[in-house]
Structures are given as structure tokens and as C-alpha cells.
């Protein structure tokens, strides 16, 4: 397909796309600014076997970088990029020196596109290896804004990246922009990254590669980097650089490690000296000792990665004479802000506690607590050796504890199965098994 036939057949659809700002969808970024095509775009490709999506940067000097690949876990897995110098004029953008660095050496080509003030762009990349049609707009699912100046604070730290051939790379960016890293195949590199002087949300990058097995062994390559924060709580970093002759390039993309959250909260009402144990479904547990009339703060020792979904609970046994519950919902999603609000309240109750002894290893028995004021049982529990509180708040009526199921090969008896719960009363029922 040549450019003339592309615009001749689909010109009306293309113009409609650009004028309405369709595609790219829902992002908050500013793309085209003023009368030029300057800005950041994302969208889809047709005619490219190496990828279906792209991120395109058109910079203030007319240079452009279009990274393409396939989406994976909300990230763009970069398989190559197109770079060149272009010109904007009355809603048209054109470049005659584009290079596709999805090939080695890079393949030459041209770019022609239409763009609109609404932030949409559409066009075609034509080269010796074929043609690619593209259309796009603002980044969806991100708070990225091209007009917000880039800062090193947003990229400082470790990153896990992947190269187009699937090789992994680990890099660290310092607070001053120094880069150090290497690939899983043993290529080491270093360099620097600095916010672009234009004040836009783009970084200028220079990388110097070590000896073999680096594809650009002993060379320094320059280019750009883009940091895109995602709604999932992580950021995507995309890097593309070329050698001085624009014959060979290097690209990588990936994400920062998900942030870890420390889980903390407050217990109120737990009597001085009593203990309650909290747990979550990651097998972490924490024993908290009460401070009487004062609330008690707690913090889990194990941090939780972003995106984890946890269920918190009060583990047995309950503190004697009290019953503790979670006030807020028991499930938290850590893809949202740091969890600091696990709230537990403990209330005194007219309750019955049980102490079980003598059970053989592996055995258990089932007890029922009944209150004549009610029809049927109040609470039933299957227990092992130890002390437990029935999770029932009595009304001051007589109570009765009975054995429902005896353990296999043993007989258990209750020394004091009946009584009356009065005032701030906790009865201790003793069960002995032989």
C-alpha cells in the first residue's frame, strides 16, 4: 500500500478520526500542543508483525520516537522503535529520514500523518520492509501529562526491564540521574538520565556499553526515556537510544518494583494486660497487649506488595471476658493508598470461657453453649487443648455447656457445666479428657 492510495481511499475516515479526537481514550495527558504535532500519543498499529501497540513522542525540535510492541500486564512490551526528524505544518506531520530499529541494522523509511488539536494522530510509516498504519491519542489508564516537567524523583531507584529479544535487564537510577545496570546475558552499561531542557515530561538519556556480549560494545548511544505512572500503582519506564550513525539501537521497557505497604492500625477497649492475636491470610500474625483505657497501636512486621488482597481476622482465643472484632471491612486491596487503618475494637461481655486439657494429639471435641432464654444453642465450637472464650454475649441468664461430640478413644467430662452470667462476668468451664 502506498501513501497516495492510503489517503485516497481512507482520507475521510482519517480526517474524521483526527477531528473528533477518537482513539487512545480517556487519558488525562495533553498530547498535541499549539499548531505542531508535539506531544505524546499512544494507540494501535496495523501491518507490523512485531507489535500491535505504540507510544509516540514528537518533541519540540521535530524529532520523534515511536516505541512499538505488544501489551502485557498493562505494560507495553517493546519490540522495536522508529526514530527520525519530522516537520509539522497545518495539521500534517512528515518525515523523510525515519529509521526502524526493530531491525539490525535499522531500516530506512518515511512517516506521514495527520494530527488534530484534540490530541489525535493517524498516519502511515512506509519503508523497504513494508508499511504500518497507526492511529492513537492520549494515554488511557495513566496520569501521565506531557506538559508536566519530568523529575528524577519519579525514576530514582531500581527497575526491572526487558529487551525486545526477551532478555531481562536490571538498572538503578540515582537521585542525580546516574544509571548503572546490566542484562541477564552479561552486558554491562552505565550512563545518565536528565529531564529534557524543554520542560516537558521526557528524559534525555546517554548509555555507554561495555564489551561483548553488548550489541553496541564500547559505544555510547543517546536517546530518550519516558516514565508513565499507571493506575495500578506502578510506573512503566521505556528507554530508546541509537548510536551516532543511527544504524543500531537499544530499547528496553519495564516497571519499577511494586511498592510495599506496612500494615498498621489501632485497637481500642482491650483491657490492660490482656492479649489479642491478629492475623491475615498471608499467615502473618501479631499479638497485641492492651493498655486499658488507652488505645493501642500495632504494626505487622511483614510488608505487603502492591496489588495483594488480604483478609484480616482476630485469631482464637479471644481475650478472657472480651470479644474483639474488626470495625472496618476485612478485605483490603493494596493497589490503593498505604494501609494504616486496620481498626479493632474489644468489648467486655458476659461470657463463658472453656479450658480443655488431656486431649490426645490430633483429637478434638465439640461443645455447645446454651441459654434457657433462647430456643436452641447460642454457640458451638470444636476445640483442642487450651483456653477459649465462646463468641457469645450472654444476657445474664443461666447458661449450660454440654459435650456434643466426644473425641475418638477418649471420654471428656465437664467439672462445672452450668452457672449464671452476672455483671462483668466471665465463667471458666473446665473440661478434662481421659
pLDDT value at residue 10: 33
- For residue 319, what pLDDT is reported? 80
Q: What is the CATH number of domain 351-433?
A: 2.60.40.10
Indicate the Cα dihedral angle 106, 109, 115, 120, nearest 10°. Answer: -40
In CATH terms, are 3-137 and 260-348 the same topology?
no
Q: Give the domain 260-348 fold.
A: Immunoglobulin-like (2.60.40)
Average pLDDT, the chain: 80
Q: Beta partners for 289?
A: 275
| C-alpha to C-alpha distance for 197 and 204, rounded to whole angstroms | 9
Q: What is the pLDDT of residues 123-180, one digit of tens each?
A: 999 987 788 899 998 776 678 899 999 999 999 999 989 999 989 999 999 999 999 9
The pLDDT of residue 282: 63
Q: What's residue 11's pLDDT?
A: 32
In angstroms, how far is CA 111 from the centroid of its own chain? 36
Tell whether pTM > 0.85.
no
Q: How far apart are alpha carbons 203 and 235 in whole angstroms? A: 15
Choices 2.40.128.10, 1.10.3470.10, 3.30.43.10, 3.40.1350.10: CATH for 152-255: 2.40.128.10
What is the model's pLDDT at position 425? 55
CATH class of 3-137: mainly beta
Mean pLDDT split into 10-residue runs, the chain, 434 residues: 27 34 33 70 79 89 94 84 94 95 93 88 87 84 87 92 91 96 94 97 98 95 94 85 97 79 80 83 79 78 64 76 68 48 75 85 87 60 80 66 90 89 66 94
Domain ranges of the chain: 3-137, 152-255, 260-348, 351-433
User: What's the 3-state SS for the chain?
Assistant: CCHHHHHHHHHHHHHHHHHHCCCCCCCCCCCCCCCCCCEEEEEEEECCCCCCEEEEEECCCCEEEEEEEEEECCEEEEEEEEEEECEEECCEEEEEEEEECCCCCCEEEEEEEEECCCCCEEEEEEECCEEEEEEEECCCCECCCCCCCCCHHHCCEEEEEECCCCCEEEEEECCCCEEEEEECCCCEEEEEEEECCCCCCCEEEEEEECCCCCCCCCCEEEEEEEEEEECCCCEEEEEEEECCCCCCEEEEEEECCCCEECCEEEEECCCCCCEEEEEECCCCEEEEECECCECEEEECCCCEECCCEEEEEEECCCCCCEEEEECCCCEEECCCCCCCCEEEEEEECCEEEEEEECCCCCCCEEEEEECCCCCCEEEEEEECCEEEECCCCCCCCEEEEEEEECCCCCCEEECCCEEECCCCCEEEEEEEEC
For residue range 92-126, what is the model confidence (pLDDT) as tens digits?
999 999 999 999 999 999 999 999 877 899 999 99
Query: What's the confidence (pLDDT) of residue 383?
Result: 81
Amino acid at each position: 500500500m502506498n501513501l497516495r492510495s492510503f489517503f485516497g481511499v481512507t482520507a475521510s475516515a482519517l480526517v474524521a478520526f483526527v477531528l473528533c479526537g477518537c482513539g487512545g481514550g480517556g487519558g488525562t495527558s495533553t498530547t498535541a500542543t499549539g499548531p505542531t504535532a508535539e506531544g505524546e500519543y499512544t494507540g494501535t498499529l496495523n501491518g507490523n508483525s512485531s507489535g500491535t501497540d505504540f507510544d509516540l513522542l514528537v518533541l519540540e525540535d521535530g524529532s520523534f520516537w515511536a516505541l512499538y510492541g505488544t501489551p502485557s500486564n498493562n505494560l507495553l512490551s517493546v519490540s522495536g522503535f522508529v526514530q527520525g526528524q519530522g516537520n509539522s505544518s497545518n495539521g500534517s506531520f512528515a518525515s523523510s529520514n525515519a529509521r526502524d530499529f526493530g531491525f539490525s541494522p535499522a531500516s530506512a523509511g518515511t512517516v506521514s500523518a495527520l494530527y488534530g488539536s484534540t490530541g489525535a494522530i493517524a498516519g502511515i510509516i512506509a519503508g523497504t520492509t513494508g508499511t504500518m498504519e497507526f492511529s492513537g491519542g492520549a494515554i488511557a489508564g495513566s496520569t501521565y501529562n506531557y506538559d508536566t516537567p519530568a523529575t528524577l524523583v519519579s525514576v530514582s531507584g531500581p527497575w526491572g526491564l526487558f529487551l525486545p529479544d526477551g532478555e531481562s535487564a536490571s538498572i538503578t537510577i540515582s537521585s542525580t540521574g546516574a544509571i548503572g545496570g546490566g542484562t541477564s546475558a552479561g552486558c554491562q552499561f552505565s550512563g545518565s538520565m536528565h529531564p529534557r531542557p524543554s520542560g516537558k515530561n521526557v528524559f534525555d538519556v546517554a548509555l555507554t556499553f561495555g564489551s561483548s556480549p553488548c550489541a553496541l560494545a564500547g559505544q555510547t548511544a543517546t536517546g530518550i526515556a519516558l516514565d508513565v505512572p499507571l493506575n495500578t500503582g506502578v510506573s512503566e519506564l521505556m528507554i530508546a537510544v541509537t548510536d551516532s550513525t543511527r544504524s543500531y539501537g537499544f530499547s528496553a521497557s519495564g516497571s519499577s518494583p511494586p511498592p510495599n505497604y506496612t500494615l498498621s492500625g489501632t485497637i481500642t477497649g482491650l483491657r490492660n494486660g490482656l492479649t489479642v492475636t491478629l492475623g491475615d491470610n498471608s499467615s502473618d500474625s501479631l499479638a497485641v497487649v492492651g493498655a486499658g483505657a488507652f488505645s493501642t497501636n500495632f504494626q505487622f512486621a511483614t510488608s505487603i506488595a502492591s496489588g495483594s488482597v488480604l483478609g484480616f481476622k482476630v485469631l482464637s482465643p479471644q481475650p478472657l471476658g472480651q470479644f474483639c472484632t474488626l470495625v472496618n471491612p476485612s478485605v483490603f486491596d493494596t493497589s490503593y493508598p498505604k494501609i494504616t487503618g486496620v481498626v479493632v475494637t474489644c468489648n467486655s461481655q458476659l461470657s463463658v470461657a472453656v479450658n480443655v486439657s488431656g486431649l490426645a494429639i490430633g483429637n478434638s471435641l465439640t461443645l455447645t453453649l446454651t441459654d434457657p432464654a433462647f430456643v436452641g444453642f447460642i454457640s458451638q465450637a470444636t476445640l483442642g487443648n487450651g483456653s477459649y472464650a465462646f463468641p457469645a454475649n450472654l444476657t445474664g441468664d443461666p447458661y449450660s455447656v454440654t459435650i456434643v461430640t466426644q473425641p475418638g478413644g477418649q471420654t471428656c467430662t465437664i467439672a462445672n457445666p452450668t452457672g449464671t452470667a452476672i455483671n462483668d462476668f466471665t465463667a471458666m468451664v473446665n473440661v478434662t479428657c481421659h
